Amino acid sequence: MIRVLVNGCFGRMGTEVVKAVNAQDDMKLVGGVDVRCEGRTALLDDAGAKIAPVFDDLAAAIEKLAPEVMVDFTHPSAVEGNLRIGLARGIDCVVGTTGLSTEKLEELAALAPEGTTLFVAPNFTTGAVLMMQFAKIAARYFPDCDIIELHHDGKADAPSGTAVRTAEMVAAARDAASPAPGKETELAGYEGARGALVDGVYVHSVRNAGQVAHQEVIFGSAGQTLTIRHDSIDRSSYMPGVLLAIRKVGARAGLIIGLENFMEGLNDE
> Active-site residues: which are they?
151, 155
Within the chain, residue ranges assigned H as helices are 12-22, 58-65, 76-88, 102-109, 126-138, 161-173, 239-248
Q: If we measure between CA atoms, which residue out of 75, 82, 34 comes closest to residue 56?
A: 34
- Is the distance from CB of 34 to CB of 8 less than 8 angstroms? yes
> Phi then psi for 202, rounded to 5 degrees?
-85, 130
Other Cβ atoms closer than 10 A to 213: 22
- Cα–Cα dist 158/156, whole Å: 7
Closest CA to 84 of 217, 95, 260, 166: 95
- CB-side neighbour CA atoms (13 Å) of 160: 27
Number of H helices, E strands in the chain: 7, 13
φ/ψ of 255, rounded to 5, equals -90, 130
